[in-house]
Each structure stands twice: as C-alpha cells, then as structure tokens.
Amino acid sequence: GAGVSQSPRYKVTKRGQDVALRCDPISGHVSLYWYRQALGQGPEFLTYFNYEAQQDKSGLPNDRFSAERPEGSISTLTIQRTEQRDSAMYRCASRLSTGQGGGSPLHFGNGTRLTVT
Amino acid sequence: AQSVTQPDIHITVSEGASLELRCNYSYGATPYLFWYVQSPGQGLQLLLKYFSGDTLVQGIKGFEAEFKRSQSSFNLRKPSVHWSDAAEYFCAVGAKSGGGADGLTFGKGTHLIIQP
C-alpha cells in the first residue's frame, strides 16, 4: 500500500484480556518499528525488526508484550493479560533500509488507540 | 544513550507571525536529527531531516531547521504560520552507529496553538 497501515484504529478491551495489534508496513521496507505513545508524551521505542528478525526488544515493558514479523512484512504486537496502564497509542513505523543506521527516516502509521477498562 | 529535550510544552502564535520551536539533544557524536508533525487523529509526518553538510535544512510546508553543534540544538522555524500549522511537533534524534536500536528517540513534543 501507499503508507503504513495499522489495525484496528481503536481497541477497547477489558483488563486481563489479550490483544493483538497489526501493522502492515510500506511494501519493500526492510525495517519495522513499534512505538508506544502515552497522552502528552512523545513516542517511546518498544521493539524493531529487520526483515523477519527481531533485532532489539529492549523497549518492551515486560514479558506480557511480544511481537513477531514471521514473513518479514506484516507484524503483530501482542499484549497478554492487559492492564489499565497499557492504555496508549501504539504506533508502527517502517523504514526502507538498514544501511544508514538511524539516518533513514521512519514512516509512521496512524496508530492503534488501545483503551483497557 | 541519546536524548531529546523540547523545553516548551505549549507555544501560542498569532496567524502570520513567525515561529521557532526549540529542540536540544544529547548524543556522543554528530547525530541524525528530525522534526515530525502530528495532527489530531493522524500519524507522524516527517517535516525535515538533518544528516550532514549544510546546517540549515529546508522541509515541507515552509519549515526549516538549523543544526547548531555548539549548542546541541536543532530548532524548527517558519517565517509565517498558518492556522493549519496547529499540531503537535516532535523533535527526534537517530543514532549513526546502526547497531542496536537504530530507531529514533523522540522528545515529548511541543503543542502549537495558532491564534486568529
């Protein structure tokens, strides 16, 4: 597609339920990133992939959070046993190449607004 | 580890007036620097980026930013703002190493309000 697509746009779930957030990056983009953005804050890094390999998951808050990108394209961020503090905007971004390190700009999706009640 | 500070949480500017949004970064070497804009209900859109070379970079929508190494700053400017510029603006720094998390580190953002 033309841009990064995330679904659903909004997700309301009850505490204790599992949720899966989907990201479809720009076609051909090698790297895929997940960020979390709390209200009034900037995006915070969670994890990223080059192709299907998860390169860094140091930003995942705890072991309830996991992510996968099995075929190097679409990615899923899963939160198990959700808690109210997980409520935030979850943003996905993709980047064309890895070769420039941090220099190649990230292209962001519109995000998934997660509310845990 | 790199970090970004945006000292102004809110900025109010009259339509047609000039704008400067401040950004200071902390990084061990010359970083990659970015400004993104986030409109309500939208994703983050890249305004401009600095990689190397000319320290004054031009972006979309009439924005520019100047990299000042001595001040560790990358302030965003626009000569004359329009009501449609009202949004949240994020400064970000990217590591040059390419290793580890070579994503971006964002500041907390500056909320720009345009007065008629």
Interchain CB contact of A36 with B (< 8 Å): no
Express each pLDDT in A62-71 by its tens digit.
999 999 999 9
pLDDT of residue B30 exceeding 80: no
Model pLDDT, residue B102: 58
Contacts of B4 in chain A (CB under 8 A): 42
Check A33 against B103: CB less than 8 A apart: yes
- What is the per-residue DSSP string for A23-78? EE--TT--EEEEEEE-TTS--EEEEEEETTEEEE-TT--STTEEEE-TTSS-EEEE
Mean predicted lDDT score pLDDT of chain A = 91
Interchain CB contact of A30 with B (< 8 Å): no
Interchain CB contact of A48 with B (< 8 Å): yes
Interface of B with A in 88-107 (CB under 8 A): 90, 92-107
Check B90 against A100: CB less than 8 A apart: no
